[in-house]
Amino acid sequence: EIVLTQSPGTLSLSPGERATLSCRASQSVSSSYLAWYQQKPGQAPRLLIYGASSRATGIPDRFSGSGSGTDFTLTISRLEPEDFAVYYCQQYGSSQLTFGGGTKVEIK
């Protein structure tokens, strides 16, 4: 099973700042199978990024994804108040899907 490790666990930032979230895989992951989700309290997760770098429908361009192999990054260029949430990366490989443990982006 491929293990995804997200860091940091919590990111304390102010609105307008840049957020950089990391997702590291225990072995190489196909970029096509790497996605990012946002989850706010009391809500279902929402797809942000698929294929490591493609934004899902309706996702603002302040969200971007990059990376390949074992290292992937989600960047939020300028945090808006509605962006404070938990973010999860996800990969699919060998007929199994796994999530990272999540990064909470909180207001500083």
Partner 1 sequence: EVQLVQSGAEVKKPGESLKISCKGSGYSFTSYWIGWVRQMPGKGLEWMGIIYPGDSDTRYSPSFQGQVTISADKSISTAYLQWSSLKASDTAMYYCARHYTRYYYYMDVWGKGTTVTVSS
Q: Contact 103/82 with Cβ under 8 angstroms? A: no
Stretch that binds partner 1, among 14-22, 61-69, 70-78, 92-100 (CB under 8 A): 92-100
Place of tokens 């962006």: 83
Rg (CA), the chain: 13
Of residues 15 and 60, the one with the C-beta less far from partner 1: 60
CB of 50 to partner 1, least distance (A): 4
Of residues 17 and 39, the one with the C-beta less far from partner 1: 39
Per the DSSP assignment, residues forming a β-bridge with 67 are 72
Q: Which of residues 44-83 bind partner 1 (CB under 8 A)?
A: 44-47, 50-51, 54, 56
Would you count residue 38 as binding partner 1 (CB under 8 A)? Answer: no
Q: Contact 105/8 with Cβ under 8 angstroms? A: no
The amino acid occupying position 103 is T
Binding residues vs partner 1 (CB under 8 A): 1, 32-33, 35, 37, 39, 44-47, 50-51, 54, 56, 88, 90, 92, 95-102
